[in-house]
């Protein structure tokens, strides 16, 4: 099977205008990935299954990337007045400044793809395919890849449940682990545990402490 590095130029040639790029993995595994724009995800997925032979999705998971502050060194040129040989002159000088900016966070869906046609002794590492939402607040939609790989059906439901990615085109998108009335997504990195639970807390550890503090804040109501 071809690696992500080998598939990138092939996809760009076979699907003109497709927005796909290589995401390098600096770890010892060097398991690089293909990142595809949401608008192109379905046609890339079909190509990977029909032409590249990746006919099985073994795993799909979510990742939450928070907003992050990035500091960059920026050089600017300005005109200043300086005394040169006793004469005041205007000269240009280069100043280096540190500029900080915030890169908005996003949610990501990651798929691991295999070929079922490979033999048990053939080297066949998975192909990693990634998609990103526009942000992690009000633009969290991605196309479902279940029309291409049916095995992703329950796993996309899990990602929707725990991370909040809304998969367009999924035929049965509903919570898988949490109950229907649950309002948050527990795998988000800024998720805050509730200070009380709907069920009877166990008589030990932090669960009981939170429940007691909750009752005290409510005036001792049971």
Which tokens sit at 25?
């993995």
Q: Across residues 104-118, what is the average pLDDT? A: 92
Residues 94, 111, single domain; the answer is no
163-214 tens-digit pLDDT = 999 999 999 999 999 998 888 999 999 998 776 555 555 556 677 777 777 7
Q: Look at residues 49, 79, 102 and tell me which one is the last residue of a structural domain.
A: 102
- 44 with 122, same domain? yes
* Spatial distance between the Cα atoms of 151 and 117, rounded to a whole number of angstroms: 16
Residue 72 lies in a domain: yes
Average pLDDT of 16-29? Answer: 91
One domain for residues 115 and 160: yes
Does 147 reside within a domain? yes
Dihedral pair phi/psi, residue 146, rounded to 5°: -65, -25
User: Which residue reads 């029309």 in tokens?
Assistant: 147
Q: Is residue 183 part of a domain?
A: no
- Overall pTM > 0.85: no
Looking at the fold, whether 19 and 110 belong to one and the same domain comes out as: yes
Domain that holds residue 159: 4-65+106-168
53's CB contacts (< 8 A; 6+ apart) are 1, 115, 117
Residue 151 lies in a domain: yes
Percent of the chain's residues with pLDDT above 90: 57
Q: Mean pLDDT for the chain?
A: 87
Q: How many domains does the chain have?
A: 2
Backbone dihedral region for residue 31 (phi beyond 0: left; psi -120 to 50: alpha; all else: beta): beta
Tally of CB atoms within 10 A around 191? 12
CATH code of residue 140:
3.30.460.80
For 21-54, give the DSSP string: EEE---STT---EEEE-GGGHHHHHHHHHHTS--
213 domain-assigned: no
Last residue in a domain, options 119, 136, 168: 168
HSE-CB for 163 with a 13 A CA cutoff:
29
Q: Summarize the confidence of residues 117-137 as an average pLDDT.
A: 83
For range 92-98, the mean pLDDT: 83
Residues 84 and 112 in one domain: no
């Amino acid at each position: 099977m071809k690696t992500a590095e080998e598939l990138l130029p092939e996809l760009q040639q076979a699907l003109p205008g497709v927005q796909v790029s290589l995401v390098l993995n600096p770890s010892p595994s060097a398991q690089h990935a293909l990142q595809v724009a949401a608008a192109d995800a379905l046609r890339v997925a079909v190509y990977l299954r029909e032409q590249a032979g990746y006919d099985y999705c073994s795993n799909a998971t979510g990742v939450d990337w928070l907003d992050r502050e990035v500091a960059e060194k920026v050089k600017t040129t300005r005109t200043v007045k300086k005394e040169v040989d006793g004469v005041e002159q205007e000269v240009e000088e280069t100043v280096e400044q540190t500029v900080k900016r915030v890169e908005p966070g996003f949610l990501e869906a990651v798929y691991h793809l295999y070929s079922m046609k490979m033999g048990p002794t053939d080297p066949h590492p998975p192909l990693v395919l990634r998609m990103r939402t526009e942000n992690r607040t009000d633009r969290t939609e991605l196309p479902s890849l279940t029309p291409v790989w049916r095995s992703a059906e329950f796993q996309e439901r899990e990602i929707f449940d725990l991370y909040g990615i809304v998969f367009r085109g999924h035929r049965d998108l509903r919570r898988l682990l949490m109950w229907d009335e649950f309002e948050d997504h527990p795998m988000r990195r800024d998720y805050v545990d509730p200070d009380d639970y709907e069920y009877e807390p166990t008589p030990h550890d932090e669960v009981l402490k939170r429940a007691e503090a909750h009752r005290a804040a409510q005036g001792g109501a049971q």
